[in-house]
Structure 1
Amino acid sequence: MEQLNPSDLKAILHSKRANLYYLEHCRVMQKDGRVLYLTEAKNENQYWNIPIANTTVILLGTGTSITQAAMRMLCSAGVLVGFCGGGGTPLFNGAEVEWLTPQSEYRPTEYVQGWLSFWFDENKRLEVAKNFQHARIEFIRKVWTKDRDLQAEGFYLDDADIQQALNGFEKKMPLQSKVGDLLLAEAAMTKQLYKIAATRCKLGFERNPEQGDLANDFLNHGNYLAYGLAATTLWVLGIPHGFAVMHGKTRRGALVFDVADLVKDAVVLPYAFICAKEGMSEQDFRRQILQKFTEHKCLDWMFDQVKLQACKTIVTGENEL
């Protein structure tokens, strides 16, 4: 069998990769130059291949282990690995996944330098935070306009309540002089979108990550999948997670949350309610979300928006690595 060189494993740009894995009750290992996960069946063990050159993130849930050789191959392919609790969400505080990022000194420098050139200026940070929120609304409009599955469930962009939520937030944004005030306005919009989604799906709902109902569980699960894509974006571009513009300088990993917000409301939020209404399993929900991430090119959107704010010009994917 022809062996791949480590340099060949990064041939697929991260923004074009299709796979994000959540694994539980298995062992991840290297075998014959491939990364596999091993599950224990009743009478025999089963091996499944992981196409690491086309993978962005692997989340390791409960009952998992990984070998040093597998980690070495994953790092050579630029795959982020996160340890999490059951269902793709953390075991303890419900606030962040601990990411194991590949160590590479050959990532681009222009994006982190561009980011830091504005970050220490509070007014410029606020400006970028507002730009991210405009991009967030733009992506909601983009996705909800063309996603026929959403329209089949009653999510029409020109409905009065949806227009009121999005337009209302846009009108409030220029008036906000502090990041804290912008966060409050953003939270009010998201609360409106929760209500809209719950009404369309005929579900009673109150947002509480610890509630344990399907809608809340699916929101938690989908959000952490989005965090995985955001962490990948920032690692590839070489921007540390601590340099947030919205979620606070004192919260470790906060920039991951800022970037994930670019796509969460457009994709995760409506499908969490739709899948809860249909009583889907976590596995089916995850499959649905990952399909929509790929369909709507969520990772591309994250890359473009972070690059745009770092350099004030969109750089093509050719210079991504």
Structure 2
Amino acid sequence: MKELSPSDLKSILHSKRANMYYLEYCRVMQKDGRVLYLSEAKHENQYFNIPIANTTVLLLGNGTSVTQAAMRMLAQAGVLVGFCGGGGTPLHMACEVEWFTPQSEYRPTEYLHGWLQFWFDDEKRLSSAVTFQKARIQYIEKVWQKDKDLKSEGFVFSDEKIQAALAKFQARTDTATKQSDLLLTEAQLTKALYKYASNSTNIKDFTRQHQSTDKANDFLNHGNYLAYGLAASCLWVLGVPHGFAVMHGKTRRGALVFDVADLIKDALVLPWAFICAKENATEQEFRQQVLQAFTDHKALDFMFDTVKGVALQNYSAEQIEAQNL
């Protein structure tokens, strides 16, 4: 049997890749030119294939290991690999938040160049942050109006309470003079959405607590980390460093990941966290539901389109063409 190498595989754009994996208590290895994970059953070992050409992110949880040969193939196929705790959270490597990011010297650089065109200008960076916030609301509108399952669970975009919260958000966003204004407005909107979601799902006395053990908070944490994985993948493919944030603090190395993840969290992670908590779903069931929602509503596509649009807003076609000559 002829072995395959990652270079033999047909390349799939990262924004079109379908798979995102979380593995635990298994060994990831290379065998016969494929990346597999080995799970030890009671009476026999079981091997499962990972379709690396169609995968964006691989999260390795408790009890996992990965071989050097498998990491080489994952890197060549452009799969982002991260180590995390149980259930996909928290994301860590050693003692700090980190991703293994395979690099290529031939990735396009126009997005980084375009990003730097505006990033050092306070007014332009604020304008870009406003663009992110407006895109976030447009995505909520698009998803909540389209998704019949969310509508049946009480998440209706035209609801008076939602429209009132969004109108206040829009007005304050338009008059913001600094990033802290936007962050405060964002926090107020998210608080209103939490209240709306808890009322829609009859979850009483909900309080957002990152260290809490109730299901709604656990699912929010879990879903947010999945969104961070997509955001990190998007920025890595476009070559924009995670430290060049437009909303979150400039002193946080991964801040831009949070900015990009925020584009989809309220539209998808938030409602499904509450719905799955109401239904007493397992972590695996919640994860499957959220990942399916990411796929159905083309969350990664939306991230790519938004980041590319912001990056190239002050970067002319002539500059891109000259760079590629």
Q: Normalising by structure 1, report the TM-score.
A: 0.94
Hey, what does 1:193 align to over in structure 2?
A: 193
Hey, what does 1:11 align to over in structure 2?
A: 11
- How many angstroms apart in 2 are the aligned matches of 1:120 and 1:224? 29
> Are the counterparts in 2 of residues 308 and 314 from structure 1 also a CA contact under 8 Å?
no
**1:75–1:187: structure 2 CA closer, same or farther, 3 Å change rule?**
same
Letter in 1 for 2:99: W
Deviation (angstroms), 1:96 = 7.5
Hey, what does 1:296 align to over in structure 2?
A: 297
Deviation (angstroms), 1:194 = 0.5
Quick one: percent identity of the two aligned structures? 69
Hey, what does 2:53 align to over in structure 1?
A: 53
Q: How does 1:226-265 map to 2 (within 5 A)?
A: 226-265=227-266
Deviation (angstroms), 1:90 = 1.5
1:111-139 CA-to-partner distances (Å, cap 9, x unmatched) read: 00000111111111111001000000000
Letter in 1 for 2:214: D
Q: How does 1:150-189 map to 2 (within 5 A)?
A: 150-189=150-189
Q: How does 1:261-280 map to 2 (within 5 A)?
A: 261-280=262-281
Deviation (angstroms), 1:293 = 0.2
1:84-130 CA-to-partner distances (Å, cap 9, x unmatched) read: 1111111789x974211112111111000000111111111111001
Letter in 1 for 2:41: A
- How many angstroms apart in 2 are the aligned matches of 1:34 and 1:314? 40
> Are the counterparts in 1 of residues 4 and 32 from structure 2 also a CA contact under 8 Å?
no
- Alignment of 1:101 with 2:101, yes or no, is yes
> Are the counterparts in 2 of residues 197 and 270 from structure 1 also a CA contact under 8 Å?
yes
- How many angstroms apart in 1 are the aligned matches of 2:255 and 2:10? 27
Deviation (angstroms), 1:174 = 1.4
1:10-45 CA-to-partner distances (Å, cap 9, x unmatched) read: 611000001000111111111111101111111111
> Are the counterparts in 1 of residues 136 and 262 from structure 2 also a CA contact under 8 Å?
yes
Q: Mind listing any 5+ residue stretches in structure 2 that lack a counterpart?
A: 321-325
**1:114–1:10: structure 2 CA closer, same or farther, 3 Å change rule?**
farther
Deviation (angstroms), 1:175 = 1.2
Q: Secondary structure at the match of 2:272?
A: helix
Q: How does 1:36-75 map to 2 (within 5 A)?
A: 36-75=36-75
- Alignment of 1:311 with 2:312, yes or no, is yes
- How many angstroms apart in 2 are the aligned matches of 1:242 and 1:91? 17
- Number of aligned positions between the proteins: 315
Hey, what does 1:282 align to over in structure 2?
A: 283
Q: Secondary structure at the match of 1:47?
A: strand
Letter in 2 for 1:192: A
Letter in 2 for 1:275: C
**1:97–1:289: structure 2 CA closer, same or farther, 3 Å change rule?**
farther
Hey, what does 1:142 align to over in structure 2?
A: 142
Q: Superposition RMSD on alpha carbons, in Å?
A: 2.0
- How many angstroms apart in 2 are the aligned matches of 1:245 and 1:235? 17
Q: Normalising by structure 2, report the TM-score.
A: 0.93
Hey, what does 1:214 align to over in structure 2?
A: 215
Letter in 1 for 2:85: G
- How many angstroms apart in 1 are the aligned matches of 2:10 and 2:187? 38
Q: Mind listing any 5+ residue stretches in structure 1 that lack a counterpart?
A: none
> Are the counterparts in 2 of residues 87 and 282 from structure 1 also a CA contact under 8 Å?
yes
- How many angstroms apart in 2 are the aligned matches of 1:96 and 1:149? 38
Deviation (angstroms), 1:7 = 3.0
Q: Which aligned segments of 4 or more residues in structure 1 are displaced greater than 6 angstroms? A: none
Letter in 2 for 1:12: I
Hey, what does 2:323 align to over in structure 1?
A: none
